[in-house]
Amino acid sequence: MTANDDLLSVLYTSTARSPFGDDELAELLTRSRASNERHELTGMLLYRGGRFVQVLEGPAERVRDLLAVIATDERHTAMRVLIEQPIERREFADWTMGYQPIAVTTAPAPAGFRDTFDDLEQSGDPSATLRAARELSLWFRVRERRAQSDAR
């Protein structure tokens, strides 16, 4: 195991060059999960209405290396790092890349949950952005659980 004394968390937003279909997203996720697991990287990816929000966390150097690769990925553009901060513990320790496609037509999120990230970039306050990201991840964990129980 890598020492956990230099964990870094980065949150960025970006815009798909052209809308991602389910197959394209599935392929991106399959590859990312396998690679992230090998590199001890965790995080989450949200995609909605042509926009991505990704949190990546892990050993600082590996996070930075991957970000440099992702930044040159031609499938998206306008990448903006909104948060980059050292962390004590992983927020997404159990995920090599949690993902939930959020249908635009879906019913509004219940009170207390955020279901959009359109305003994230407008907020100049990193802690507000982090809070928003946490709310988002919580919301899609709930949805994931619901989808799993629906499938049963």
For 69, the token pair is 């690769």
* φ, ψ for residue 75, nearest 5 deg: -75, -15
H/E/C letters for each residue in 92-122?
CCCCCCEEEECCCCCCCCCCCCCCCCCCHHH
How far apart CA 67 and CA 89 sit, in angstroms, is: 20
Q: Does 99 bind ligand FMN (CB under 6 A)?
A: no
39, containing H or E segment: none
Collapse the DSSP code of 25 into the 3-class scheme (helix H, G, I; strand E, B; otherwise coil) and give the result: helix
Q: Does 145 bind ligand FMN (CB under 6 A)?
A: no
Q: Does 76 bind ligand FMN (CB under 6 A)?
A: yes
Output the smallest distance, CB 36 to ligand FMN, in A.
5
Residue with smaller CB distance to ligand FMN, 35 or 116: 35
How far apart CA 92 and CA 2 sit, in angstroms, is: 17
The site string for ligand FMN over 6-45 (x = CB under 6 A, - otherwise) reads: --------x-------------x--xx--xx--------x
Q: Does 66 bind ligand FMN (CB under 6 A)?
A: yes
Output the smallest distance, CB 12 to ligand FMN, in A.
9
Taking CA atoms, 98 is separated from 45, 83, 124, in Å, by 6, 19, 26
Q: Does 73 bind ligand FMN (CB under 6 A)?
A: yes
Q: Does 52 bind ligand FMN (CB under 6 A)?
A: yes
Looking at 42, 54, 100, 137, which residue binds ligand FMN (CB under 6 A)? 54
For 119, the token pair is 């305003």
Residues making contact with ligand FMN (CB under 6 A): 14, 28, 31-32, 35-36, 45, 52, 54, 66, 69-70, 73, 75-76, 97
